[in-house]
Structure 1
Amino acid sequence: MNSKSIFRKIFAAFFALLVFQQVWTDEISGKASENVRTFLVRAVVAPGSEWKEKFPPQFALWIQDSDGNFSQTIFATKKASKKKWIFAPKDGRPEALPVWYHSCKNFYASESENEMDAVTSATPKGGFEIARKIQLEEGKKYFAYAEVNKSFDYNEFYPKDAEKNAAEYSGVNGQPSAVYRAEVSFENPEAKLELVGTGSLDGKSGSVEDKTETLTTAKNLVEKIIVSIEFLEDEK
C-alpha cells in the first residue's frame, strides 16, 4: 500500500470522526434545549432595621444551578454593578459583594448592556419586589442567592481601628457581606432565603464563608427575602 492510499484512509477516518462528533454534540445540545423553559422569577425583599433610607446597603440577587454554575442576575444595585464608588481604590470595591462578583464573572461578561440596565437600579429605600423572566432547565435544581452589604458597619469583630495587616482589618467595609440562599425548583417553587454565611473580607475570594457568628447589625440589613419561580406554559 502506497503512502497516498494510507493518507487517504487516515483522512477519511478523521473526517468521519469529525462528522460523528458534530452529530453527537448537536444531539446532546438538542436534548438540553428541549428541557429549557421560560420561568418568571419573583422576589420580595423586606428590609430590616439596619436598612437605612439615607445610607442603604448594596444588594444583589441571582440564580445558580446545583453545580454552582451561574445562571442569571435577577437584581443588583446600580452602584455595585457599575462599580462607581466614591473615593474607591483603582480596583473598586470587590469586597462589597464578592460572592456575586465572582459568581457572575464580573457581571459584564455575563450579560449585555441592555440586560444589565434591566436588572439594576438605585438601592431601594424601603421594601421592594422584583420580577424577571429567565431561562432554566426543567427538572434541574437551582439556588437563589442574595448578598447584602453596608460600608462602615464596624463591630467588635471588625473594629474601625484594626491594623491594616490584621486578620480583622476591613478597610471601609466593616462587617463582610451577608449571604442568603434557598433552593428553588418545580417541587419547591417558593422559598425563604436563609442566612448561610459571609463573603470574603477583602473580596479576593468568591466563596461563602461560615462566619455568621461575627455578624451583628449586618444580620438586620434584611428582614426576609422570598423567591418564587413560575413556569410560563406559553413560552419556551
Structure 2
Amino acid sequence: MKSCKMITASVTIALLLAASSNCVDDRQVKKEGQGTGPVLIEFEIHQDMGLIRQSLFGEPPQFAIWLEDAASHRLQTVFVTYRSGYGEWVGKVKCPAALPRWFEVFKSETGSKELPDFDSPASDAVTGATPVVEEFKTTVEFPFGGKWICWIEMNLSGDFNEAYRAHDIERRKVDVYFSGQPALVYRGRVTALPGEKVRPELYGESVLGSDGGVKIQPVSEGVTTAKDIFKTIEIRVDER
C-alpha cells in the first residue's frame, strides 16, 4: 500500500510540474509574439485649449501621427487632421509649412510628388476632423510584438511670439503661411505588447528649407508656448 501511495504521489507531482512547465512555455511564446493575434495601440493627447485660444485664429492645431517600423523603417500614417490630409486651407492654395515632415511621409506612402489636396488626399481611413476639445483618442490595430518608433508632428497656426512674428521688419521677413512658431515633433518607442505604456517626448522642430527640403533640428530657443500646446501624450497597448 505504501508503495502505491508513493507512486501515486510521484505521478501527481510530475503532472503538476508538467502543467507548470507548459504555462511557462505559453507565457514565453506569447511574449515572443508567436502564434498570437493583433493588438490595439491607443494614442491619447490632451491639448491646452487656453493656449490655443490665444493664437491669432484660436483654432486647434494641425497634427499627424505615424509609425516607423524599427527594423525596416517603413512608414505608416495612423492619423492626420482633415485640413492637412485634404489640403483644405482657407485663403491659401497650399501650406507646406503646416506639417513639413508628415507631408514627406505622405509622399513616401503614396508615391506622390505633391502635397495632399482634394483630388489626391490622404486616405479616409487615417483622416479625421481636427479635435476641438481637450482630449483626443484614436486606436489602431497592429501585429503583436512589433517594435515601432512613434512620431507625432504638431503645428498651431498663428501662435506668434517675439521670435516668430507675422511681419519681422528687422529681418525683412513675412510669415506668408501664418505658421507662427514651427511645427514640433515628438518621438517615442513602443513595442506592441499588451500593457505597454509610452509617453513620447519632444524631439525637435521640423523646418521647411528655402529649397523645399525638410529637416528636423533641435527646438529653437525662440519657441515658447508651442511646447505646451500638447499637455500630455500617451500611447497604450491593449489586447484586441
Q: In structure 1, what is the equivalent of residue 99 of structure 2? A: 97
Aligned mates of 1:83, 1:62 — CA distance in 2? 18
The AA in structure 2 aligned to 1:50 is L
Aligned mates of 1:163, 1:141 — CA distance in 2? 48
TM superposition shift of 1:129: 1.0
Q: Are residues 1:192 and 2:227 paired?
A: no
Q: In structure 1, what is the equivalent of residue 40 of structure 2? A: 40
Q: Are residues 1:205 and 2:213 paired?
A: yes
Identity %: 28
Q: In structure 1, what is the equivalent of residue 115 of structure 2? A: none
Q: 1:85 to 1:41 in 2, by over 3 A?
A: same
TM superposition shift of 1:37: 6.5
Q: 1:56 to 1:211 in 2, by over 3 A?
A: same
1:63 to 67, 70, 73: 67
Task: Indicate the structure (1 or 2) with the bigger Cα radius of gyration.
Answer: 2
TM-score, length of structure 1 as denominator length? 0.68
Aligned mates of 2:91, 2:148 — CA distance in 1? 37
Q: In structure 1, what is the equivalent of residue 157 of structure 2? A: 151
Q: 1:43 to 1:164 in 2, by over 3 A?
A: farther
Secondary structure at 1:116 match in 2: coil
- What is the aligned-residue RMSD (CA, Å)? 3.3
TM superposition shift of 1:157: 1.5
Q: In structure 2, what is the equivalent of residue 51 of structure 1? A: 52
Q: 1:106 to 1:122 in 2, by over 3 A?
A: farther
Q: In structure 1, what is the equivalent of residue 85 of structure 2? A: 81
**Cα deviations by residue, 1:174-209 (Å, 9 ceiling, x for unpaired):** 111011111101578220111111111459334321
Q: 1:87 to 1:144 in 2, by over 3 A?
A: same
Aligned mates of 1:35, 1:143 — CA distance in 2? 23
The AA in structure 1 aligned to 2:51 is E
Secondary structure at 2:102 match in 1: helix
Aligned mates of 2:190, 2:127 — CA distance in 1? 22
Asked whether the 8 Å contact 2:65–2:152 carries over to 1, the reply is yes
Paired residue total: 192
Asked whether the 8 Å contact 1:103–1:206 carries over to 2, the reply is no
Secondary structure at 2:217 match in 1: coil
**Structure 1: segments with no counterpart, 5+ residues:** 1-33
**Structure 2: segments with no counterpart, 5+ residues:** 1-33, 113-119
Asked whether the 8 Å contact 2:208–2:215 carries over to 1, the reply is no
1:119-130 alignment to 2 at 5 Å?
A: 119-126=126-133, 127-130=135-138
Secondary structure at 1:208 match in 2: strand
**Cα deviations by residue, 1:50-98 (Å, 9 ceiling, x for unpaired):** 2349511101111112368243211110111101111214xx1111011
Q: 1:80 to 1:71 in 2, by over 3 A?
A: same
Asked whether the 8 Å contact 1:143–1:182 carries over to 2, the reply is yes
Q: 1:177 to 1:143 in 2, by over 3 A?
A: same
Q: 1:130 to 1:64 in 2, by over 3 A?
A: same
TM superposition shift of 1:143: 1.0
Stretch of structure 1 that moved more, 198-207 or 79-88: 198-207
